[in-house]
Structure 1
Amino acid sequence: MSAQGRFHSLDSFRGLFALSVVGYHLRVSGSFTELAFFRHAEVFVAFFFVLSGFVLAHAYGNSAQFNFRRFFISRTFRLLPLHLFMLAVFIVLEGGRYIAFQQGMEFNNAPFTERYAPAEILPNALLLQSWTHWTNPLSFNYPSWSISIEYYTYMIFALLLSIAAGLRQWVWAALVVAALGLMHVGNGLFTIEALRGLAYFFTGCLIYTLYLKLAHFERPGFWLMSLLEVIAVAAALLFVVSDFEAKALVASPLFGSIILIYAFDGGAVARVLTGRWFALFGKLSYSIYLTHAAILFCVVSAFMLIKKLIGIDIAPMIDGTRYLDTGSALANNLVALLVVAMVVLVSMFTYRYVEMTGQNLGRALANRPANKSPVLES
């Protein structure tokens, strides 16, 4: 960790795992996207939740003068601008699909139906789609299901900061145990998405309290930290590619342990992760995560159009999933790499012009005195 309080290797992990989620959603026959690692990469969303809890506990958990107004504005303008931008993009794309449908193009479902139904727009705009049993968490920009959970979990976290520090950690622990327990036994009140988010996020908060305690002790040497980092990566890889019933429960403590190890930025792997490209992916991680579904939509639609024009099935349906397939393993891998590169390039644009614009506006609003009123000139 630097003097400025940034956890550089953890930022890089966020970027790498966001790219892994892109690989999970991208299906290109015979390419690297079909490796077991990418076929199970959806589990990295749990890492995002745990890391968010850790980072917010670092930023606000020990603040003597917590300002809820500033927190609300800061978090809202951190998440909402890009989310609303991508929701608008998906509505436009669905409009394009409607026009193509009217021209005889065939799709898996009719435009503006099912998860693209107009009734899903308002819950998405309010980030409520993952909190109720009456809305589809995967509607429109489907990766935003986790942003829905994360946003309101931020607010729960902020409310809990009013509790005395000694009791606060016990409340966090109780929330983790209750959420994990309800995930295991099942319930009809809370959505599984909400339970996952709460359990993982507050695990991150608890991991940060442990990090603070360990920071008072003498730090292990470079080589021991390097060994721990390698073991952590190996454990993560084994966990990701494995299938077992309690995987969702194990994700919480496993990712928490990995975050704890890398938070010290003390070993060889952590040093590698501070490299320029890894840092770039970390910076772009939110844009990568929220933009990739729209880009995949456009790429798949382009392949379907080409299929219609040339009469060769380069966008086959396999077990209910749309694949891309040029007929060549080399070409398919190139297609997959180009799509990932396209996601990164688009994310550079959205980061600069949407994310940063929103964050700058949020800072301006947050720093404005709450009781400031306009002066009337006579």
Structure 2
Amino acid sequence: MKHRFLILDIFRGIFASMVVLFHLSPFAETPLLNNDFVDNSDMFVDFFFVLSGFVISYNYQSIATGEQVTDFLRKRLRRIYPLHLLMLLAFVVVEISKGYLASYVHVNQPTNPNNNVFTFFTSLFLLNSVKMPGVTDVSWNIPSWSISAEMLAYIVFGLGMLLLAKTKLGRYKGFFYGSIALLSFGGLAVITQGFVLNYSFDYGFLRGIIGFFVGGLCYELFRYIHSVGSQWKSSVFDLAEILMLILIGLMIYYGAALKEVGFVYEILFFVAILVFSFEKGWVSRLFKKSTFLEKVGTYSYSIYMTHSLLISIFNILFIRILKFPPSAYWYLVFANYYLIYKVSEWTYKNIEMRFKGGHKKISIKHVSE
């Protein structure tokens, strides 16, 4: 099989944009942003983890030596780290500048105790999704905790593939993926005494590993049923895709209750990715016609990594300096998103692709790939 999975790329962009709205909503006073759907859109991060596991399992099926593991991890680090480092340093500049700016404009948090030397180094070394002593919240570039969780999931994946190859148990990849996901979720449940999944700075690495290996299991099922599923009528996928969109909408909207049993989102995104991976339904055909949605998917990692800083800058300019009321975000949101989109277009071309090794467009990308 050779697939681009364009529709999954598009959904990654759409859901990354929903995370943007989630982080923008505290600055706004408008029903457009202050509603239950946006308030629970942080759960779309789990879609990124599941999709990452799906895509990585598809692209890296033959890891069998220590050298291949090293090469895999090097490629993944080159893909995610340059933009992560750039944004971390940008936040350092902002933090240093706060004292000066406070003399001219209201700054909500002139000194952020979470942005300290220790958390700088946990972010620098991609450990900011692991519970550390004295760390009580996310810090610096807030979304970057999930990049840490991604990298740790890559390490577990690479070593796991090597182990399966050395023990000649490669045909049991599905069992391995499922076991890692269950063990991680069980460990998280025991540690936290609950089934909540939306952790970040503390147990986010377990959340990432759970989602990633659920994605790997999803790919194994896709591979197993692909030849049969490809022969199903388009009308079957028309119905399945529409139902999936409705189900995703409802489960995000009612997230306040469903987050208490967070594993349901792993199941939700497992099924969604499996359905849309065939790209045969009406929704897939419609979305794939949009050049804009394709670009949003292409720039999704940059959108995800740059938006926190750009939201803060935009808020200072329009709300603190120009004195727009928070209710003005019913239309300012579009200007803010456009800024994020254009900056992300630049960082994609000049940071992501440059350090990845050229400007050639890659066929399968992920929000934190």
Displacement of 1:362 in angstroms is 12
Are the counterparts in 1 of residues 63 and 69 from structure 2 also a CA contact under 8 Å? Answer: no
Displacement of 1:63 in angstroms is 5.5
Aligned to 1:350: 347
Judge which range, 341-350 or 125-134, deviates more. Answer: 125-134
Identity %, equivalent residues: 28
2:232 partner SS: coil
Aligned to 1:95: 96
Question: Any gaps of 5 or more consecutive residues in structure 2?
Answer: 194-200, 361-369
Question: Which of 262, 272, 278 matches 2:276?
Answer: 262
Question: Any gaps of 5 or more consecutive residues in structure 1?
Answer: 316-323, 327-331, 364-378
Distance (whole Å) between structure 2 residues aligned to residue 183 and residue 42 of structure 1 = 19
TM-score with structure 2 setting the length: 0.86
Correspondence 1:249-328 to 2 at 5 A: 249-275=263-289, 276-306=291-321, 314=324, 324-326=326-328
What whole-Å deviation, never above 9, does each CA across 1:161-212 have from its counterpart, x for those lacking one?
A: 1112133332221221122223334349x94212211111100000100001
Give the letter for the 1:192 counterpart: Y
Q: Larger radius of gyration, structure 1 or 2?
A: 1
Aligned to 1:237: 249
1:215 partner SS: helix
Are the counterparts in 1 of residues 106 and 320 from structure 2 also a CA contact under 8 Å? Answer: no
Judge which range, 240-249 or 344-353, deviates more. Answer: 240-249
Are the counterparts in 2 of residues 223 and 267 from structure 1 also a CA contact under 8 Å? Answer: yes
Are the counterparts in 1 of residues 24 and 311 from structure 2 also a CA contact under 8 Å? Answer: yes
Question: Which of 156, 170, 192 matches 1:165?
Answer: 170
2:176 partner SS: helix
Judge which range, 205-214 or 120-129, deviates more. Answer: 120-129
Question: Which of 191, 194, 208 matches 1:186?
Answer: 191
What whole-Å deviation, never above 9, does each CA across 1:118-157 have from its counterpart, x for those lacking one?
A: 2221111111111133245611000111011001111110
Distance (whole Å) between structure 1 residues aligned to residue 109 and residue 238 of structure 2 = 50
Are the counterparts in 2 of residues 21 and 41 from structure 1 also a CA contact under 8 Å? Answer: yes
Aligned to 1:75: 76
Correspondence 1:1-378 to 2 at 5 A: 4-27=2-25, 28-62=28-62, 67-101=68-102, 103=103, 105-111=105-111, 113-134=112-133, 135=135, 138-162=138-162, 163=164, 164-187=169-192, 191-218=202-229, 219-242=231-254, 243-245=256-258, 246-275=260-289, 276-306=291-321, 314=324, 324-326=326-328, 332-360=329-357
Displacement of 1:109 in angstroms is 3.2
Give the letter for the 2:350 counterpart: Y
1:115 partner SS: coil
Are the counterparts in 2 of residues 49 and 197 from structure 1 also a CA contact under 8 Å? Answer: yes
What whole-Å deviation, never above 9, does each CA across 1:45-104 have from its counterpart, x for those lacking one?
A: 000000000000000125567812321221011000000011111111112212123x26
Give the letter for the 1:349 counterpart: W
1:120 partner SS: helix
Give the letter for the 1:177 counterpart: L
Distance (whole Å) between structure 2 residues aligned to residue 278 and residue 64 of structure 1 = 37
Give the letter for the 1:233 counterpart: L
Are the counterparts in 1 of residues 152 and 205 from structure 2 also a CA contact under 8 Å? Answer: no
What whole-Å deviation, never above 9, does each CA across 1:3-45 have from its counterpart, x for those lacking one?
A: 7421010000000000010011112211521232211110000
